[in-house]
Amino acid sequence: MKFEPYWLATAPRFGAGATGPLAGSVDVAIVGGGFTGLSAALALAKSGASVAVLEAGRVIGEASGRNGGHCNNGLAHDLGGLAASLGQDRAVALYRVFDDAVDEVERLVASEAIDCDFARTGKIKLAAKPEHFAKLQKSAELLSRTVEPDLTVVRPEHIRQEIGSDGFHGGLVFPRSAHMHMGRFGVGLADAAARRGASIYENAAVTELHRLNGRAHRVVTSRGEIEAGQVLLATGASRQGPFAWLRRRIVPVGSFIIATAPLSTELAASILPMRRTATTTKNIGNYFRLTPDNRLLFGGRARFALSSPKSDAKSGAILQARMIELFPQLSGVRIDYCWGGLVDMTSDRLPRAGERGGVFYALGYSGHGTQMSVHMGQIMARVMAGDVNANPLAGLAWSAVPGHFGPPWFLPFVGAYYRYQDWRH
């Protein structure tokens, strides 16, 4: 078993990075070489701006290359609950942003000819308990009337047509959702940005940020300094760099994934005959999908802990046991990959993007980052070019998480609370 992300292990390494020390000046410096930063770099470079992407490690080495491979539409929230807090119009508008985000990924895959196995197979949300199906049905009524006219309700007696497990009690199919190979998409996005003239610096951790005037900054990195007319922070849950204001508003939550050895065609079809992405209704639930080479990727917040080799191994064992509980037909299958990563969670699970102190930012995708990071990179490129009304997340209040000043000491307590809720409901 390899303790590395399947996506990074099976994708070509990005080879068009900038060489030599960082120096001079650019129109825009982007901090972070994940999907947000690379998408913004591509859009800005295509518009004629000079761009430097500053990545502390390797391109897509963190969340963008460590996720479950889903590209799903839909919010992390119940639409009715969100409408109660933000109003019906704002809730529906936000839902449609997530739809637009999947469309954006598909558009970039086509326009930049990125070979990443993008496919609109749909997502199924699975009821983990019998009483959860009633809640899904109620949710489906509102969704069908407002934002998901093609939604399909799968009744408990028909769930075996969608999933080869006795552990679920009905579900909802969201047909606009998709999946792809995250590693190949990310490298393709980076190659596209570099072709358009963006300079991408790996191993260039930002250590200082000094405001010169207005939006202009001097950016100090481990590979030198550069002056930028504008700066975009696309750091996700990173705990590096002089960005305390953002870190107080982002809770880094560990999420963990295992990948099986390739399955036979028959065995793969017995698990997910429609090859959809799948999520479950528990607070501490699971998400899974098949890869083109018939591996099952099976993930979840197995432990409320940060990722490390020891933590990943413990989480992998928990995930394997849960996978076999749901799919006994996999009891003899080898696990080839096990890894973890950090989800940049906000307290209300809505992403944030905007400007503060002359610095632009986009992050906080809360487990829905694949599509939203790509989309918000494109959006923030428009905002930075002067389209101040382009940001669909503008105006969302964003308070610091109480008591959060450093490492998230409170995660075990959060985990205990959600486990209790899953047991109770």
What is the per-residue pLDDT across 292-348, written as a single tens digit (0 to 9) for each? 999 999 999 766 677 778 888 888 999 999 999 999 999 999 999 999 988 898 989
DSSP bridge partners of 299: 257, 287
Residue 76 predicted with pLDDT over 90:
no
Q: What number of other Cβ atoms are within 10 A of residue 165's Cβ? A: 19
HSE of 41, CA atoms in CB hemisphere, 13 A:
34
392 phi and psi, to 5 degrees? -75, -10
DSSP structural state of residue 182: H
pLDDT band at 186 (very low <50, low <70, confident <90, very high): very high
**What does the alpha-carbon distance between residue 56 and residue 32 come to, in Å, rounded to a whole number?**
7
The pLDDT assigned to 20 comes to 92
* pLDDT of the residue at 164: 97
> What's the rounded Cα separation, in Å, for the pair 212 and 345?
31
Q: Write out the E strands in 261-403.
A: 277-280, 286-290, 296-300, 335-345, 352-356, 359-363
Q: With the CA atoms of 167, 290, 178 and 104 taken in that order, what torsion angle do they form, in degrees rounded to the nearest 10?
A: 140
Q: In this structure, what token pair is assigned to residue 389?
A: 């009304």
Give the pair of three-digit tokens for residue 282.
């528990």
Per DSSP, the chain holds a count of helices (H) and strands (E) of 11, 18
Quick one: how far is CA 390 from the chain centroid?
A: 21
Q: Is the pLDDT reported for residue 182 higher than 60?
A: yes
pLDDT > 80? residue 112: yes
**What is the average per-residue pLDDT within 178-194?**
98
CB count in 10 Å sphere of residue 330: 20
User: Can you list the alpha helix ranges (DSSP code H) found in 179-334?
Assistant: 182-195, 244-247, 265-271, 309-326
Q: Considering only residues 75 and 189, tell me which one the structure prediction assigns the higher pLDDT.
A: 189
pLDDT for 406:
74
pLDDT > 70: what percent of the chain?
Answer: 95
Residue 168 and residue 127 in contact, taking contact as beta carbons nearer than 8 Å? yes
Q: Contact 6/259 with Cβ under 8 angstroms?
A: yes
Q: Is the pLDDT of residue 276 over 90?
A: yes
Q: What is the pLDDT of residue 259?
A: 98
* Mean pLDDT value of segment 140-146: 96
Question: For residue 31, which of 302, 331, 233, 257 has the smallest C-alpha distance?
Answer: 233
| H or E element that contains 418 | helix 411-424
DSSP 397: -
Residue 170 gets the label, from left (phi > 0), alpha (psi -120 to 50) or beta, of: left
2-45 pLDDT, tens digit each: 999 999 999 999 999 999 999 999 999 999 999 999 999 999 99
Tell me the average pLDDT of the chain: 94
Q: How confident is the model at residue 282 (pLDDT cuts 50, 70, 90)?
A: confident
pLDDT at residue number 371: 97
Mean pLDDT value across residues 130-136: 96
Q: Where are the alpha helices (DSSP H) in 14-157?
A: 35-46, 79-86, 88-111, 130-146
Averaged over 264-284, what is the pLDDT? 94
pLDDT in tens, 218-242: 999 999 999 999 999 999 988 889 9
Contact 202, 27 (CB under 8 A): no
Cα distance between residue 19 and residue 36, in whole Å: 22
Share of the chain above pLDDT 90, in %: 84
The CB-based long-range contact list for 331-335 (8 Å cut-off, 24+ gap) reads 333/260, 333/261, 333/263, 333/267, 334/1, 334/260, 334/261, 335/1, 335/258, 335/259, 335/260, 335/261
Do 300 and 367 form a contact (C-beta atoms < 8 A)?
no
Residue 417 in this model has a pLDDT that exceeds 60: no
